[in-house]
Structure 1
Amino acid sequence: MATSVTLTICFDAPFWVGVVEIAEAGEVRATRHVFGGEPTDAELYQFLLRHGSALLARAQANPPVSAETRHQGRHNPKRAVRLAAREAARTARGQRSTASQEALRREFEQRKASAAAEAKQRRQDEAERKYALKRAKRKRRKRGH
């Protein structure tokens, strides 16, 4: 049960993004960090020293996605062209092509749902607070002060 951790830095217009993938037991967990400008090697090293454990913890907290097992043997060249075209069409339709991208999508949806729940709770709390103020004001008017 070997665990491999991979950090990939890529340009996702207009920012540089780091994707951390943790692969273990046929499952992949991933998270991403937006760097902004292109990080130098020294900046990347300092970032990993300061925030590496938090980044790994964030990746571990995400739901796992099963890794696709791919055939490593030789393919017929025509078959390889067909598979590449099918993969290109799949990504053009908006479907994710790798397990790490699927894990990132699930992480995004999870954060989106939790943010929506927190916003709803804040709105309810604010409405209750306003109602309590309105009730207190009405009570003061009834007392004749």
Structure 2
Amino acid sequence: MIQRFDGNRLSVCKVTFGAEPTDAEIYAFLLKHFNDLQFTKPIKAEEKKRADSPKRRMRNAKKMLDQKGVGTKSQQALKKQYEESKAERKAVSKEKREEDARRLFELKQKKKKEKHRGH
């Protein structure tokens, strides 16, 4: 997972390598392909303040997990991008399905007219 910070904005990209790559291989990959990577839309990355006591940290961590769900900001950004693309695919497929239904209806109407017309 590649994270890119622009000021206080975070965008991520997921790249799958075959075997565990070395640091040199990752660096060479980034130098060669960084401009071709598809990053998510940037989200606001806020700096976390450090709590005083360990008990307070535990309470805050539990509260944050309950509110935001499990995962890092990068994972949440990827999930958000996935949900957006899923909604877009759903809308496109619905539109296509309605277009096909309309076309079939018009075809049936045309056939019905042809039958009543006579020869």
Give the structure-2-normalised TM-score: 0.70
Alignment-derived partner of residue 98 in structure 2: 124
| Ranges in structure 1 where 5+ consecutive residues have no aligned partner | 1-18
Kindly report which structure 2 residues correspond to 1:28-107, keeping only aligned pairs within 5 A, or say none: 28-33=10-15, 35=16, 38-41=18-21, 52-55=34-37, 58-59=38-39, 62-71=40-49, 76=52, 79-88=53-62, 90-91=64-65, 95-96=69-70, 98-107=72-81
Contact 1:68 1:99 in 2 (8 A): no
Contact 1:31 1:103 in 2 (8 A): no
Alignment-derived partner of residue 5 in structure 1: none
Q: Distance in 2 between matches of 1:29 and 1:132?
A: 47
Q: Distance in 1 between matches of 2:31 and 2:63?
A: 40
| SS in structure 2 at match of 1:63 | coil
Letter in 2 for 1:23: F
Equivalent position to 1:138, from 73, 93, 112:
112
Deviation at 1:118, TM superposition (A): 0.6
Letter in 2 for 1:110: E
Name the one with the larger helix percent: 2
**Structure showing greater Rg:** 2
Q: Distance in 2 between matches of 1:86 and 1:115?
A: 37
Alignment-derived partner of residue 24 in structure 1: 6
| Ranges in structure 2 where 5+ consecutive residues have no aligned partner | none
Identity of aligned residues (%): 25
Alignment-derived partner of residue 3 in structure 1: none
**RMSD of equivalent CA atoms:** 3.2
Query: Which protein, 1 or 2, shows the higher relative CO under an 8 Å CA cutoff with sep ≥ 6?
Result: 2
Name the one with the larger strand percent: 1
The CA deviation string for residues 7-57 of structure 1, in whole angstroms up to 9 with x for no partner, is xxxxxxxxxxxx222111101012334x4x853428x769768865432xx
